[in-house]
Amino acid sequence: MKTTVAILLSLATLASSSAFAQSKTRAEVYQELIQAQQDGRDFVTDTSYPDVNPIFAHQLAQRQQAQLAQRQAGSQQAGVAASPAN
């Protein structure tokens, strides 16, 4: 009887521990963190969820403007590099 209980308990422990296993690698989680920071989701707090905390709204706007300017500068440089030289 005790052996059966011990076996069942062991099987239950193994089954429950595999339920908590995640299929993401550290690199995937790190990329998600970087993407969240770029999207401004790191400015969302417990009290402001799902919106950006008003305290950080100005910082987020500045970050988004800087990213937009950087993308535009990158696309202009790519256009110049792609144009044929005379």
Residue 37 lies in a domain: yes
Q: Which of 23, 24, 21 is nearest to 32 (CA)?
A: 24
Given a contact cutoff of 8 angstroms between Cβ atoms, the answer to whether 9 and 15 are in contact is no
The domain containing residue 53 runs over which residues? 24-80
What is the residue-level pLDDT of the chain in tens, covering all 86 positions? 777 777 767 777 766 655 565 788 999 989 988 888 777 777 777 777 777 788 888 888 888 898 889 888 888 777 666 556 55
Residue 17 lies in a domain: no
Residue 62 lies in a domain: yes
- Neighbouring C-alpha atoms within 13 Å toward the C-beta of 47: 4
Q: How high is the pLDDT of residue 27?
A: 93
Q: What is the DSSP letter of 22?
A: -
Residue 18 lies in a domain: no
Q: How high is the pLDDT of residue 64?
A: 84
Given a contact cutoff of 8 angstroms between Cβ atoms, the answer to whether 38 and 67 are in contact is yes
Residue 3 lies in a domain: no
Reduce the DSSP state of residue 46 to 3 states and report it. Answer: coil
Residue 16 lies in a domain: no
How many distinct structural domains can be found in the chain?
1
